[in-house]
Amino acid sequence: MAQTVVILLGAPGAGKGTQAVRLAEALGMPHVSTGDLFRANLAGGTPLGEKARGFMDQGELVPDELVLEMLFDRVAQDDCQAGYLLDGFPRTMAQAMALTQALGDQRPTVINIDVPDEAIERRIVERRSCKDCGAIYHLTFNPTSVEGVCDRCGGELFQRKDDTSEVVRTRLQEYHAKTEPLVSYYTDLCGLCTVPGQNSPQEVFEACLACLGPGSNAANSSSKPTDHLKTPCDNSQKEVGL
C-alpha cells in the first residue's frame, strides 16, 4: 500500500510538536513522536524507559538501536499503515538511513522548521506541557487562560525535566552535530521544504501545509486528506515564506 510519510526536522524547541499535533489532525494521520514514546516508557517504568532515562536527562540522544526498535514497532501498528507523521525522528544519519531502507521505493515529505539558536533557550525553558493530554504551551508566547491549567482538558501543566538552560546547551550541540546533517541528506534524497519557524504558530502551520502540496489545507482535508501526497519527491527544494 502506498504510504504517506511526513518528517518534521528542526532543533529542540523549533515547534515540531506544536505543528505535528495540528498537521496530524488536519491530514488525518497519526502523530509519532519518539520523545513522547520515550516519556511514556519512562512514566511506565519499562526497561526501555530506564535505559533511555540517563541520556534524556543529560540532553544526549538515546542510542540508535533503542530508538529504532521502538520506532519500527510503533509504525508497524495498524493506524500507521496508510502513513504517519514523524516528530523527532530521525535524528541521526543512521536513523535516517534505516528509515530510507524501510520505506523502500517510497520517499518521505520532509519539512525543516528553521529557528535560530538564539531563540531556542527561551522557547525551551518556558515550555509547559499538559500531564493528561500532552498539549504544549509557552509561558509568554502561548499561555493558558488559567495559569497551570490546560485549556484543552483542564489537566495540570508540568515542566519537562530536560527543559532547563543547562540541558538545552547539550541538546543544541547534539542537534548541530548529529541531526542538522540530515538537512543535506534529505535535500539530496528527495528534496526538503524549509519553513521559517519564528512566525506565529498559525503562520508556521500554513507554511507547513503549503509544503505538503497545493491542495493542502485544513478546511478541505476531510475527504481524502493525503491524495495530493502520493507522488514521491514532489517537494523538491523550496522555501515557503509568508
User: Quick one: which of 142, 144, 164, 217 contacts ligand ADP (CB under 6 A)?
Assistant: 142
> Does position 30 bind ligand ADP by CB under 6 A?
no
Output 98 or 190, the one with its CB closest to ligand ADP. 98
Q: Is 54 exposed, middle or buried (0-12, 13-18, 19+ CB in 10 A)?
A: exposed
Q: DSSP secondary-structure letter at 19?
A: H
Q: Which residues bind Zn ion (CB under 5 A)?
A: 130, 132-133, 135, 150, 152-153, 155
> How far, CA to CA in Å, does 100 sit from each of 93, 186, 189?
10, 10, 9
In DSSP terms, which residues pair with 52 in a beta bridge?
A: none
List the single partner that 30 binds among ligand ADP, Zn ion, none, CB under 5 to 8 Å by kind.
none
User: Quick one: which of 48, 195, 204, 209 contacts ligand ADP (CB under 6 A)?
Assistant: 204
Handedness of CA 5, 29, 23, 165 (dihedral sign): negative
Q: How far apart are alpha carbons 76 and 7 in whole angstroms?
A: 17
List the single partner that 130 binds among Zn ion, ligand ADP, none, CB under 5 to 8 Å by kind.
Zn ion
Output 58 or 234, the one with its CB closest to ligand ADP. 58
- Pairing assessment for the beta strands 83-87 and 31-33 based on DSSP bridges: parallel
Answer for the pair 131, 158: CB distance below 8 angstroms, yes or no: yes
User: Quick one: which of 16, 31, 74, 107 contacts ligand ADP (CB under 6 A)?
Assistant: 16
Helix H segments across 158-200? 165-174, 181-189
151 grid coordinates: 485549556
Least distance from Zn ion to the Cβ atom of residue 130, Å: 3
Output 187 or 198, the one with its CB closest to ligand ADP. 198
List the single partner that 141 binds among Zn ion, ligand ADP, none, CB under 5 to 8 Å by kind.
ligand ADP
Q: Which residues are at the interface with ligand ADP (CB under 6 A)?
A: 10, 12-18, 34-35, 38, 55-56, 59-62, 67, 88-89, 91, 95, 123, 127, 136-138, 141-142, 162, 171, 197, 200-201, 204
